[in-house]
Each structure stands twice: as structure tokens, then as C-alpha cells.
């Protein structure tokens, strides 16, 4: 179905180029995707979800530690040379393509935000949605606007600040997560087949 072999320069792909490299006619491409942006988005979706098919937020230990490792994982993905160019190409397209933006929102961003939000809620955080935004916002601010790199140790301090901003009750050491769902492990939200 998705014959998106390893493309190289995502910033400047063309319908004709993809067609040629995929050994497929332009007609067929247009039958499935309206734009190169849509192709890139599907490729991104494939890469982001292929193994797991879901967003995973660790929910085994202490809240702060879980958030920290999630932040670290997010940063790792954003700066991974394999993913970064593709991600940037898609976010660039999103700025001018409303339909693509909606797809991106529904299938990548919301699942991510929801997963964090859920973890925060079960960590006894008030207004977990706001906290999730507070957590992710600065990360993407740095990444999208290229204000500065992610220095080591920042993730930890950042998580501390976010928790200070929104923590109200003390977190119970035994998580409610394990009761709410069969798996006592991580908070997962599937984004496959939406």
C-alpha cells in the first residue's frame, strides 16, 4: 500500500521524483495523496507508529522520573537525524495546509497530549491538560523556532518547574494506573486505525 521507500531529501521532494523512485505513475500517486505534504505525513506516521502504534508514557515509577524520561525520549526523537528532516518538512507544510494540519493534530499531537495528560491526571495533577501543554510547549518552542539546543540536565529542571506550576495534591506512591487497566505498566493510547 504505502510504498514509501527511504527518501532522502524531504525538504524538496516532488510528485514526479517520488513517482519515478517508487516505479509508479504520477496518476497513481495523485489517486492517493493530494500533495507531497500528504505523502510526507503518511511516511512520518509510518515511522512514528510502525512498531508500537501508540504513544507511550512511562508510568512505572515516580511521576517526575516518568515525565523526565518521556521528555528525554521526545527530545531524542526530535533531534534524531533520521526523523528530524521529515518532521520539519511536515511541520512546515502544516503552516499553510489546513487539511494536513487537522490530520497531524488528530493522529499525532492529540494522542501525545492525551497520553501525557492521562499520566499527569493519575499522578494527581490538577488541570493535567494545562500541565501537558506546559511540558511540551517549551520543547517545541526550542525545536520549531530553533532558539537553542537541548542542553543536558534541562529536561529534569523543566519537569520540576512544570510540576511546581500545577501540582497540588501529593502523589500517591502506588499508582492508580494499575487498578484502572489490566496492564500495570505504561499509559498507552493507540493511534492506529483512527
The site for a second copy (CB under 8 A) is made up of 11, 88-89, 91-96, 101, 104-105, 109-110, 113, 130, 133-134, 136-142, 144-147, 157-158, 161-162, 164-166
Rounded to an integer, what distance in angstroms lies between the CA atom of residue 18 and that of residue 6?
Answer: 11
C-alpha 193/C-alpha 141 separation (Å) is 30
Q: Does 36 bind DNA (CB under 7 A)?
A: yes
Buried b (16+ CB within 10 A) or exposed e, 60-85: eeebbebbbbbbeebbeebeeeeeeb
Q: How far is the CB of 138 from a second copy (least distance, A)?
A: 3
* Least distance to DNA, CB of residue 38, Å: 10
In whole angstroms, what is the distance from residue 122 CA to residue 176 CA? 6
Q: How far is the CB of 116 from a second copy (least distance, A)?
A: 12
76 is a site residue for DNA (CB under 7 A): no
Interface with DNA, residue 6, by CB under 7 A: no
Partner from DNA, a second copy, none contacting 23, C-beta within 5 to 8 A by type: DNA
Are the C-beta atoms of 129 and 117 separated by less than 8 Å?
Answer: yes
Query: Which of a second copy, DNA, none sits in contact with 17, Cβ below 5 to 8 A by type?
Result: DNA
CA distances to 35, 43, 87, 155 from 94, in Å: 12, 15, 11, 27
Q: Using CB under 7 A, which of the segments 7-15, 99-107, 127-135, 143-151 binds DNA? A: 7-15
Amino acid at each position: 500500500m504505502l510504498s514509501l521507500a527511504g527518501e532522502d531529501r524531504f525538504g524538496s521532494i516532488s510528485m514526479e521524483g517520488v513517482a519515478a523512485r517508487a516505479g509508479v505513475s504520477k496518476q497513481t500517486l495523485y489517486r492517493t495523496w493530494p500533495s507531497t505534504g500528504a505523502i510526507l505525513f503518511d511516511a512520518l506516521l509510518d515511522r512514528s507508529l510502525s512498531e508500537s502504534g501508540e504513544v507511550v508514557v512511562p508510568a512505572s515509577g515516580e511521576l517526575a522520573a516518568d515525565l523526565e524520561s518521556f521528555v528525554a525520549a521526545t527530545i531524542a526523537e526530535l533531534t534524531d537525524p533520521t526523523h528530524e528532516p521529515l518532521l520539519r518538512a511536515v511541520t512546515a507544510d502544516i503552516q499553510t495546509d489546513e487539511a494536513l494540519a487537522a490530520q497531524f493534530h488528530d493522529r499525532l499531537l492529540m494522542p501525545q497530549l492525551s497520553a501525557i495528560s492521562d499520566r499527569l491526571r493519575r499522578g494527581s495533577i490538577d488541570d493535567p491538560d494545562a500541565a501537558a501543554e506546559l511540558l511540551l510547549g517549551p520543547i517545541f518552542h526550542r525545536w520549531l523556532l530553533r532558539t537553542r539546543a537541548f542542553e543536558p540536565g534541562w529536561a529534569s529542571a523543566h519537569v520540576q518547574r512544570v510540576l511546581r506550576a500545577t501540582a497540588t495534591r501529593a502523589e500517591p506512591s502506588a499508582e492508580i494506573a494499575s487498578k484502572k487497566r489490566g496492564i500495570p505498566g505504561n499509559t498507552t493510547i493507540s493511534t492506529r486505525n483512527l
